[in-house]
Structure 1
Amino acid sequence: MNIANIVSLIIAFGACAFGWSAINNSTAQEEKATMQPDLVFALGDDSDEVMRSAKVPIQRSHISTALMYDASRIATGVEPVFQLKDPKHGIVFPQTTDVEFMSDTEEGRRIRNIQLTFKVPTSPKDVHDTAAFEIYDEAMYHYVMGVISLINGAGWKRYISLASPRLEGRGTYAFQPSGYGGPTYVTFPRLFYADPDYKLSFDEWKHLPRGTSVIWSWYADGNFFELKYNRDERSPDLPITLGDQLDAQIQSEAGWLDTFGATYDAARAKYQSVIPKYLHARAEAEAKARAQGAHILTDWVDPTIAGITPPKN
């Protein structure tokens, strides 16, 4: 699904929610024409130069060697459209409410981390309005599936963590009630990593458990991409606050390694040292899933990261 489809769905949702009779194709095309990127940059670009050339205001802050940049509705009052610049894997995303990025002065202000919060359809507030929520759920479903399609279409390839089982398809999702529509093998109670190459049906979408998060992960040319869908609680006893949320994080290899150590060399050494532990956790999870009838992707090739190629298992 391309951006025009996503925009059309959002417009259609608004029309239904407010009782408008119809929205024609020309309106959708006019809306699409206004969605030109306000921020265009790549991982590795000079962050200060990006700030100078941006079409929207950006707030800059500085903590130690880290430079942080905020182009968000809260900080600047704008809702930018972001284009990830890349010769092979670039993407123009739908409108966001928040674009933030980070660089490091010790790396020449090169951008290493980008975070996006998408401007998703607005949730109805009356939890008892089932008709409005049916429209909202379908709009959200098409929106999220559309963003996944954009990422897949740009050539990003699925990434499976070394600690995660090499599962595929529907079996990487959890559903409520447990066992809905057949077996799945996900054991994460409130967070699970799903296969972005499997397209959920709308009925499957409606059975994703509330109060959970679904993450889809990709990898391309040393960079990482993570899309996170937070599914809001929905109870007749609780008010609707935010509704469902969709966020993304795009990282360079150095940015991805930050969680392992304060410097690149320390992080690389730590990552290498924990690989056996991760692979052991994967083997245990796969043995459990295989016993339940799951197919394991034994031909899966884990990417080389920071020059380290994980052993095959």
Structure 2
Amino acid sequence: MFTQLRRKAIYFHIYQYFIILLFISMGFYSCDNTSTEAVIPTSSTVSSNNEEDDLEQPEILPLAIDSSDLVVLPLDTGGVHKAFTLGATPAVFGHYIYTPSGYTDSGAEYPLLVFLHGWDPSGYTGSDFSELNELQQGVTPPGLISEGKWNPSFPFIVASPRLKSYDYWRPQDVHSFINYLIQEYQVNTSRIYITGLSLGGGGAWYYVGVMGTENYAAAIVPISARGEPSIVTNLSKVPIWAFHGDSDTTVPHNENFGSVPLVSAINARNPEVKAKITVFNNTGHDAWSRVYSDNFTKRTQGDPFTVSIYDWLLQYKKENLNEDN
């Protein structure tokens, strides 16, 4: 009996020693910031609160992000979200601007995410703070920031403009706004990304589709929006991940150059980066709450939504794309 107990004790100490070595090796690995490639795991193991969503789907490989210009950025522990009314700056729009906690006017350059809002029947002007404050409502990048829920893998400057009146996002105005941001802030011009919902998703489609080679976008994420045949050629030159709901009656996903036929037309041109399309099952016009909050679901058509759009965007840099494609 004594021999058996002693043998068990020896095995237990060996097990403890193995565990300690494992944690030490993990610590050394996590402290090594010399790598220029960050491997971001997918969220394919994240389960939904809805049991019906937990269906089988293909395993998705981790994203490999060239982080050589990202690892130098300080950890964002909560930055400043500031409103500028229309006319308070030279910008063509009133807007919110979020700068991460480590941001300085003369420091490192940050990726820029431009968020374009959707339509509101009351109209938009951005001429006073009450109108701008509406940008902080809902599950959107500025909404998540205002609620303290903004935590992408790497820090972004986030710009949320407001339309001067109910109209549409004119590509030239969006371009002018980005020019203003580049002049005023430490923007990494190879990492400018655009996303938008509904009317704003159309703004993302048309900004790239109309501006062509002049556009700044390294990649875009349009949600619940449509386009048209005339913008397909230019859209085939920029990485795109589109989202839509299959029950959207406001902007049908499969009609009138909604997301599905538009992505099909883009991919028919054999782009360097194939456009992605995720259609959520049993979902109406609001597909964005799921996307912006990383509320992953397995009940999708096309590319399954298993990775943060913010990580997906960071895979792409403007300088890495073949402009001759």
**Which TM-score applies when normalising by structure 2?**
0.21
Q: Which has the larger radius of gyration?
A: 2
**Which TM-score applies when normalising by structure 1?**
0.22
